[in-house]
Amino acid sequence: MSKVKSDQLVNLIKSLSKGEKRFFKLYAARLSNSGDKKFIVLFDAIEKQKVYDEDKILEKHKQLNPVQFSNLKAHLYYQLLKTTKLCNSSNLENIKITELLDYSRILYNKCLYKECVKMIDKAKAMAMENDRSVLLLEILELEKLVIPKTLESGNELRVGVLIDTTNHVAESIKNINIFSNLSLRLNSYYVQTGFSRSKKDLKKVNHFFYSSLPKYNEKDLSFQEKMYLYNSFVGYYFFIQDFTNGYKYAIKWVDLFEQQPEMKRHKLELYIKALNSLLAVQNKLYKYKEFAETQKQLIAIKRDKSLILTENINLNLFKAIYVHEINRHFMLGEFKSGTRIVGALESELNKFVPKLDKHSVLLLYYKIACLYIGSGNYRTAIKWLNKIYNEKESDLREDIYSFTRILLLVCHFELGNDYLVESNIRSTYRYFGKKGQLSQYQKYILNFLRYLFLDPSELNLKKQFVNLKKQMLGLEKNKYERRAFMYFDIITWLESKIENRSVQEIIKEKAKAKIG
């Protein structure tokens, strides 16, 4: 048996629900009739520890042999996986369908062909009902083996239906693979760089996207095919910042679930993803009333007793609800009340952050920092920006790392930390030079801050604010430069300096005009 790392075992035990732990104990009690209770002793010992300590376990439980400890951990790990699967088999459709398929194979191997066909029919009906194409293809392949062994009237008709169904399912799986691969690749681009930055980015993604799409008739596509097709189009339009078309496909994606509400239960993670995508484009297009309604749909998932909320689903829900509640405060310009959410949910945030992917963590930290900047609390904003700055930089979200440096400069400027601004300007120039990606937006801000050091008088300060605003208004019309304004609303910040008003006050006025 392969060795299992201690943290894998500990993480699995800590993730179990009370019901799953109780089921394991009952199942393990039956297994341990022979007297082998060592893996149960190990389970109890790990469960009681707040911090895993192997030496303390071995010291306290002398019956556990240090030489065999690795094998014992592996044995416990796989028993836990087995019992967790059994415990959840009545709730998870994939497990139920796989179980029926396994029973069908057992009956086939026992030469009980008629019984096998009946079991196959059950599995097939469930796979079709739940739109599980890959499992359905496996079931159909087994059916092809068993049908020749059951010579009955009507077999010829069944064979014709079987061949047609297999061809249709194989074509559907092919499309699902293409659409889901497209979506995955687009997500990979976005996670690495953020929105498209140049003609080169646009040309690359256009060629990749449209050359990969197969010929299809949207009306003839299955639920799963449409789901992944709409997902890929939303990702494409979001990447190229065409939020109007992204909105159209996000609406289609959510409507797909509204037309077949039973699919929410079967494809819950992708339903959450559809709502998340719709909320993202509604936010970008300032469709506040629609945004508020979609947000209610998202939050309602937590209260829907017909849905099974696994740890994975709860993690996805937390991330989506938290991010869009922050976005709602951005839309309204309610930064101070937005920062109170951070305080109220910080303990929950600390609970979920270790489980989140690095991209989601960076995005959350950045949004929280922007909330504090909008509220005028620059010291706390620096705390959150430093969480990003101090992260070991990877190939994820170069845009967020870049704009974190810009925002740190703005915060230090606001706090009058002249020395830090001066040293950070130099290091930021070196950083962008190394990356070879200094945009016009970034040049204007860095030059603006540098000129202030040459002449820090109040008259020059006002002049530089007005000049920078004029430059930024010109950039806002450039389709490749305007992406920068999604990371930091520099124009509103400049207006607050020129007019001597708070950022929050100005954004509230703008929000009122946009939302109506």
What letter does residue 195 receive in the DSSP assignment? S
Contacts of 415 (CB under 8 A, 6+ apart): 378, 379
The Cα-based distances of 6 to 14, 41, 53, 71, 471 in angstroms read 12, 15, 10, 11, 57
What letter does residue 485 receive in the DSSP assignment? G
Q: State residue 2's pLDDT score.
A: 46
What letter does residue 308 receive in the DSSP assignment? -
The answer, yes or no, to whether residue 245 has pLDDT greater than 70, is yes
Averaged pLDDT, 409-432: 81
What's the alpha-carbon Rg for the chain, to the nearest Å? 29
Q: Give the tokens for residue 407.
A: 């925002």
Ordered alpha helix ranges (H), 147-267 = 155-193, 199-212, 223-239, 243-259, 262-266
Residue whose pair of structure tokens reads 């799409």 in the numeric block: 213
User: Distance (Å, rounded) from C-alpha 253 to C-alpha 271?
Assistant: 8
The Cα-based distances of 67 to 41, 46, 63, 79 in angstroms read 16, 18, 12, 20
Lowest mean pLDDT, pick from 89-93, 235-239, 392-396, 415-419: 392-396
pLDDT bucket at 118, cuts 50 / 70 / 90: very high
Say if residues 104 and 119 touch (Cβ distance below 8 Å). Answer: yes
Report how far apart the first and last C-alpha atoms of the chain are (Å, whole number). 65
Q: State residue 435's pLDDT score.
A: 65
Q: Give the tokens for residue 53.
A: 């300590």
Give the chain's mean pLDDT.
84
3-state helix/strand/coil string of 100-166: HHHHHHHHHHCCCHHHHHHHHHHHHHHHHHCCCHHHHHHHHHHHHHHHHHCCCCCHHHHHHHHHHHH
Averaged pLDDT, 392-407: 73
Contacts of 511 (CB under 8 A, 6+ apart): 286, 288, 331, 332, 333
Q: Give the tokens for residue 69.
A: 């400890």
**How many other CB atoms sit within 10 Å of the CB of residue 300?**
11
pLDDT bucket at 240, cuts 50 / 70 / 90: confident
The answer, yes or no, to whether residue 394 has pLDDT greater than 60, is no
Tens digit of pLDDT for each residue in 180-205? 888 888 877 777 666 666 677 778 88
pLDDT bucket at 1, cuts 50 / 70 / 90: very low
The answer, yes or no, to whether residue 35 has pLDDT greater than 60, is no
Which residue type, as a one-letter code, is found at position 196? S
| Spans of all domains in the chain | 6-88, 93-175, 242-354, 357-516
User: Distance (Å, rounded) from C-alpha 87 to C-alpha 495?
Assistant: 60
**Residue 406 CA from chain centroid, whole number:** 26
Q: State residue 453's pLDDT score.
A: 66
Say if residues 440 and 475 touch (Cβ distance below 8 Å). Answer: yes
Q: Please state, for a pLDDT cut of 70, what percent of the chain lies above it.
A: 89
Averaged pLDDT, 26-36: 64
Summary count for the chain: helices (H), strands (E): 25, 0
Say if residues 422 and 463 touch (Cβ distance below 8 Å). Answer: no
Top-confidence residue, 490 or 438: 490
The answer, yes or no, to whether residue 155 has pLDDT greater than 70, is yes
The answer, yes or no, to whether residue 393 has pLDDT greater than 70, is no
What letter does residue 393 receive in the DSSP assignment? P
CA neighbours closer than 13 Å in the CB half-sphere of residue 9: 27
Q: Map residue 190 onto helix, strand or coil.
A: helix
Q: Output the pTM of the full model.
A: 0.76
Say if residues 381 and 342 touch (Cβ distance below 8 Å). Answer: no
Top-confidence residue, 395 or 238: 238
User: Distance (Å, rounded) from C-alpha 166 to C-alpha 14?
Assistant: 43
Q: State residue 255's pLDDT score.
A: 97
Q: What is the largest CA-CA distance in the chain?
A: 98
The answer, yes or no, to whether residue 371 has pLDDT greater than 60, is yes
Closest of 197, 288, 187, 201 to residue 233, by C-alpha? 187
Tens digit of pLDDT for each residue in 84-99? 777 665 556 778 888 8
**Domain spanning 357-516: CATH 3.30.870:** no
Closest of 490, 486, 505 to residue 332, by C-alpha? 505
Tens digit of pLDDT for each residue in 251-309? 999 999 999 998 998 889 999 999 999 999 999 999 999 999 999 999 999 988 888 88
Averaged pLDDT, 123-135: 88
Q: State residue 380's pLDDT score.
A: 93
The Cα-based distances of 430 to 76, 106, 238, 439 in angstroms read 52, 66, 30, 14
Say if residues 188 and 232 touch (Cβ distance below 8 Å). Answer: no
| The residue count for the chain | 516
Long-range CB contacts for residues 318-325, cutoff 8 Å, separation at least 24? 318/348, 318/352, 319/352, 319/356, 319/360, 319/364, 320/272, 320/275, 320/276, 320/279, 322/349, 322/364, 323/363, 323/364, 323/367, 324/276, 324/279, 324/283, 324/291, 324/295, 324/298, 325/295
Say if residues 336 and 507 touch (Cβ distance below 8 Å). Answer: no
